[in-house]
């Protein structure tokens, strides 16, 4: 089982290690369009000293019509190396909310072969609350070479989810809000139907978080039980577009599930197609 020390660092720990030569700090903030926030502008206005900004909408498969789909390993390596990061560094990721998009960025790093990736516990709000320094502008680190070791098994595509639905061999866990899972609320993206993947389970990512931090392992384990999910059986996570699904993957690590998949296209893909089965109503 991963411990908190395997997954998170505190603001005080990071403050004491900012000048380590093999430390890389990443602002992985991202917001839904409805939030009316510009994550890059927020980063330039104020970020942890030395942090670089990763935009999941540009370090992505930009030719896909789906939002922030994974880039190829080669594209990832080029972009991340250009930001002065290599796979052997200690990488600390945070976001401006507390815990929202940072798990997605950590997931990207991990499946691309980064060896040590932690999340700043409490994110930028906790860093500010501790009275730590903030700098503005943009960091310009020296480029490095990021050598990828892509974990393809951690990523599920449309064909794999179709197979899982037909075979019922995997538990698909949907991190969206209950109303979206039930199909009683409209989806925020145009052209995407309401509803859920047949046979899927609902565990909203927001239920796993308190005050911008992941809840403790015992409470997380209880939430999976309440949702009818067996952590001992294979799990693939999903959400609206593959961002909050990574929060569920992170939570699974805290209760000993080290190998769970993530459906990268998520509901943006499944719900946006006419040829995929969809369920609605109470489970």
111 contact partners, CB below 8 Å, separation of at least 6: 70, 150, 151, 154, 155
Cα 185 to Cα 112: distance, rounded to the nearest angstrom: 35
Catalytic status, residue 239: yes
Q: What is the DSSP letter of 103?
A: H
Q: For residues 283 and 8, what is the distance between their CA atoms, to the nearest angstrom?
A: 34
Cα–Cα distance list, 126 to 54, 177, 187 (Å): 20, 25, 31
Give Cα separations from 213 to 7, 100, 102, 125, 253 (angstroms).
12, 9, 11, 11, 15
Pairing of strands 171-174, 201-202: parallel
Q: Which of 223, 239, 245, 246 is catalytic?
A: 239
Q: What CA–CA distance (Å, rounded) separates 150 from 55?
A: 20
Query: Rounded to an integer, what distance in angstroms lies between the CA atom of residue 225 and that of residue 171?
Result: 13
Helix (H, G, I), strand (E, B) or coil at 52: strand
Give catalytic residue positions.
Answer: 239
């Amino acid at each position: 089982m991963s411990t908190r020390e395997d997954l998170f660092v505190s603001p005080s720990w990071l403050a004491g290690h900012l000048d380590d030569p093999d430390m890389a700090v990443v602002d992985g903030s991202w917001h839904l369009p409805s939030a009316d926030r510009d994550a890059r502008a927020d980063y330039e206005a104020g970020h942890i000293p030395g942090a670089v900004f990763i935009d999941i909408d540009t370090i992505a498969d930009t030719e896909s019509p789906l939002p922030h789909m994974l880039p190829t390993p080669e594209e990832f390596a080029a972009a991340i190396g250009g930001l002065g990061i290599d796979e052997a560094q200690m990488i600390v990721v945070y976001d401006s909310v507390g815990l929202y998009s940072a798990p997605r960025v950590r997931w990207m790093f991990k499946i691309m072969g980064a060896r040590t990736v932690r999340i700043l516990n409490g994110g930028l709000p906790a860093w500010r609350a501790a009275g730590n320094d903030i700098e503005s502008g943009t960091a310009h680190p020296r480029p490095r070479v990021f050598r990828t070791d892509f974990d393809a098994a951690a990523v599920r595509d449309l064909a794999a989810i179709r197979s899982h639905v037909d075979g019922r061999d995997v538990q698909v866990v949907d991190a969206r809000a209950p109303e979206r899972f039930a199909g009683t609320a409209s989806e925020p993206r145009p052209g995407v139907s309401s509803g859920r993947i047949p046979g899927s389970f609902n565990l909203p990512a927001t239920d796993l978080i308190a005050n911008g931090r992941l809840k403790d392992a015992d409470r997380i384990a209880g939430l999976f039980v309440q949702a009818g999910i067996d952590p001992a059986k294979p799990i693939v996570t999903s959400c609206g577009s593959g961002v909050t699904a990574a929060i569920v993957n992170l939570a699974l690590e805290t209760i000993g599930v080290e190998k769970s998949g993530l459906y990268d296209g998520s509901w943006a893909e499944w719900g946006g197609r006419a040829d995929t089965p969809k369920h609605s109503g109470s489970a």
